[in-house]
Structure 1
């Protein structure tokens, strides 16, 4: 790996403090932030995605946010193309890519490469949605576990979007999604990586932060934000943007599915489940340096680590 330009991965579950730490690093080191978040790509979805505010973006600009309308679709393949282009540009300017976020599939795809998965089939996808409404997602997860045991074991019954995609692939091609992953390009990322993960040892503290943040989103106007999105765009509940955690629960609340208190509790629970899935992804990734978030010395520890890596890289290049 000697001689490759450096790149930093800053990963972690939702509400672990990634954005604050990334901004601190960007203000003190020659790095540029690339967002690795499948929700931040959507325009006008600001509160429920915890999108950095205008002042934060002025202090530390982020690439790959506000790319598409909420009616659009953004894939892991497009992320890899966009991220690799940006990383090359940032490196050419003598700076270091700092990739920050919680969409672990994107990190995995960038690091390990993507296979050529079949294109989405709208009719088949709609049929799976109808089956889920009739039989429930746990039943479809059980079917996936039978057809593609590896994907079934990796995905939780609540991870409906990925269950749908994995079922779509195996029904469309007769091959399980896991076969495609194993047959992927697996081309080595041409960077010397420093992969860091903010991982809270005490899950109760993480759960408390998740609840506080969701309450803050509601207080900041998340319900009104979803109302405005529904008025501005031709949305439906099956679109990826409206399946994002928080937005799905508010959508159902606005449709009369349940009351405000239940919506809040469902939103907090769904966010906790998201964090659990993110931590599961992290446990399956190699060579990650784990840092306890929230500790007074955490920021300085990461800063020192990154500074040392950059100094080492400069020494190798001279």
Structure 2
């Protein structure tokens, strides 16, 4: 079957409704959905990642959800290579493709390419993660502002995973991640149409996020975090260094009151 539609990409902030739009569209144009979410890719992390429900997953074929153990690491480059190959596979079966997600680095690598450098220092990375847990990601963020202000300006002070990564690259190689990201990259070998979902008023989004967090807590987010720890999932895993998990972990250690934890997630 010859395809007349480009790959449709749906981006936007958390709680904006990307999943619902993607599913409705997929059913209309006979498409399958590639999830570009760097946390929904992990098994066992269900409530805190806001994964699609069973009914939603049954409404349209989804890819890249629940495919990795939380202990595994997975980079934007790995996702880009695998997702581009999956586009070809889906289209070979005569289906259209929708990519939906809020992980900016995943979408950027998938659409525009990724830099080739693979700079890793596991010992340094672990040390930085421990510091992020004990001292807080804001402390590391200030350090990143000194050594790579351009990359720091692109990140939220609470984004421990990406802050640690940027510091790991600089401290182990002396090179700025912001400069490495400017290296020539290979764009997607197919046409695509990018759509962004955004609220008319920012407060509307804040209200939606607040309601979602309240719902997650009612669903059992704290029990999910306890279960992950009981199964031997380290709080230093990249999968756990994300909003919705690192705050309950800090609360369990006595670092936050319950109210502070909820406010930090929101």
- How does the TM-score come out when normalised to structure 1? 0.78
Deviation, structure 1 residue 131: 4.7
Q: Is the 8 A contact 2:161 2:242 kept in 1?
A: no
1:194 is matched with 193
Deviation, structure 1 residue 134: 6.9
Q: How does 1:88-107 map to 2 (within 5 A)?
A: 88-107=88-107
RMSD: 1.9
Counterparts of 1:260 and 1:139 in 2: how far apart (Å)?
22
- How does the TM-score come out when normalised to structure 2? 0.92
Q: Is the 8 A contact 1:47 1:222 kept in 2?
A: yes
Counterparts of 1:101 and 1:133 in 2: how far apart (Å)?
27
The range that moved more, 149-158 or 52-61, is 149-158
Q: How does 1:169-188 map to 2 (within 5 A)?
A: 169-184=169-184, 186-188=185-187
Counterparts of 1:133 and 1:25 in 2: how far apart (Å)?
41
Counterparts of 1:228 and 1:157 in 2: how far apart (Å)?
28
2:123 is matched with 123
Counterparts of 1:65 and 1:30 in 2: how far apart (Å)?
19
Counterparts of 2:54 and 2:132 in 1: how far apart (Å)?
40
Do structure 1's residue 219 and structure 2's residue 218 form an aligned pair?
Answer: yes
Q: How does 1:17-166 map to 2 (within 5 A)?
A: 17-132=17-132, 136-166=136-166
Deviation, structure 1 residue 201: 2.4
Residues matched between the structures, number: 264
Change (3 A) 1:125 1:75: same
Change (3 A) 1:133 1:175: same
Change (3 A) 1:253 1:127: closer
Quick check: which has more Rg, 1 or 2? 1
Change (3 A) 1:35 1:130: closer
Counterparts of 2:105 and 2:174 in 1: how far apart (Å)?
23
Larger helix fraction of residues:
1
Do structure 1's residue 263 and structure 2's residue 255 form an aligned pair?
Answer: no
Change (3 A) 1:205 1:117: same
Deviation, structure 1 residue 69: 1.3
The range that moved more, 25-34 or 6-15, is 25-34
Where does structure 1 differ by over 4 angstroms across 4 or more consecutive aligned residues? 130-136
Structure 1 residue ranges without an equivalent (≥5): 269-318
Change (3 A) 1:70 1:133: closer
Do structure 1's residue 238 and structure 2's residue 236 form an aligned pair?
Answer: yes
Counterparts of 1:77 and 1:158 in 2: how far apart (Å)?
23
SS at 2:255's partner residue?
coil
2:16 is matched with 16
SS at 1:34's partner residue?
strand
Q: Is the 8 A contact 2:155 2:163 kept in 1?
A: yes
Deviation, structure 1 residue 57: 1.0
Deviation, structure 1 residue 136: 5.0
Structure 2 residue ranges without an equivalent (≥5): none
Deviation, structure 1 residue 47: 1.2
Counterparts of 2:259 and 2:96 in 1: how far apart (Å)?
44
Deviation, structure 1 residue 74: 1.5
Counterparts of 2:133 and 2:56 in 1: how far apart (Å)?
41
